[in-house]
Amino acid sequence: MIPEAASAAEEIYKENILDHYRHPRNRGAFSPCAFKHREINASCGDDLELFVDLADGKMRKVAFEGRGCAVSIAAVSMLTEHVAGMTLAEIEKLGKDAMLGLLGIPVGPSRLKCALLGLKTLQNGIAAHRTAL
C-alpha cells in the first residue's frame, strides 16, 4: 500500500474509533441476562461490566456499562457488534489479533490492555458462567 493510501485508511479507522467512543453501540445494562461480568484495567482506570443473553448456545445480546478511555470504550462497542450470533466457543477462541483487527490501527503497549479489556471481560465472564453451570 502506498503511504498516502495507508494514511487515508488509518484516518478512516481513527474516525471509526472516535465514532464508537462518542456513540457506543450496545451500551446499557439489561435484565434478565444469562450472566454479567465486570473487569477493571487498573493501569488506565477503565471499568467495564458486560451483560450477556444467550439463545441456543449463541450470543443473542451483549451490552456493557462502564467508563474508560476512548480505546477501551470503542473496542468494547465494536466487540459487542462483532460477537452477535457467535457461539461461546467461537468467542473463547478470539485473541489479541482479532481484537486489534477490529480496531484497525496499531495500538501501542500503553493502550493494549485498554484495547483488550472488553474481550477479557467477555471471555472471563464466559468462563465463570461455565463454572457456575
Say yes or no to pLDDT of 124 above 80.
Answer: yes
Return the closest-CA partner of residue 87 out of 57, 52, 60, 43.
57
Record the cell numbers describing residue 87, joined without a space: 457461539
Phi-psi region of 50 (alpha: psi -120 to 50; beta: other; left: phi over 0): beta
Side-by-side strand order, sheet with 35-41:
35-41, 46-55, 58-67
* pLDDT value for 6: 56
pLDDT (0 to 100) of residue 3: 54
CA distance 110 to 59: 30
By three-state DSSP, how is residue 68 classified? coil
User: What pLDDT, in 10s, does the model give residues 54-81?
Assistant: 999 899 999 999 999 999 999 999 999 9
pLDDT tens readout for residues 45-58: 999 999 999 999 89
Instruction: Specify the length of the chain in residues.
Output: 133
Q: What percent of the chain has pLDDT over 90?
A: 86
In order of start, what are the domains of the chain with their CATH numbers?
3-132 (3.90.1010.10)
SS3 assignment, position 41? strand
Residue 5, pLDDT score: 54
**pLDDT for 4:** 58
Query: Quick one: how far is CA 72 from the chain centroid?
Result: 7
pLDDT in tens, 82-110: 999 999 999 999 999 999 999 998 899 99
User: Hey, which residues does 50 pair with through a beta bridge?
Assistant: 37, 64
Confirm whether pTM is higher than 0.85.
Answer: yes
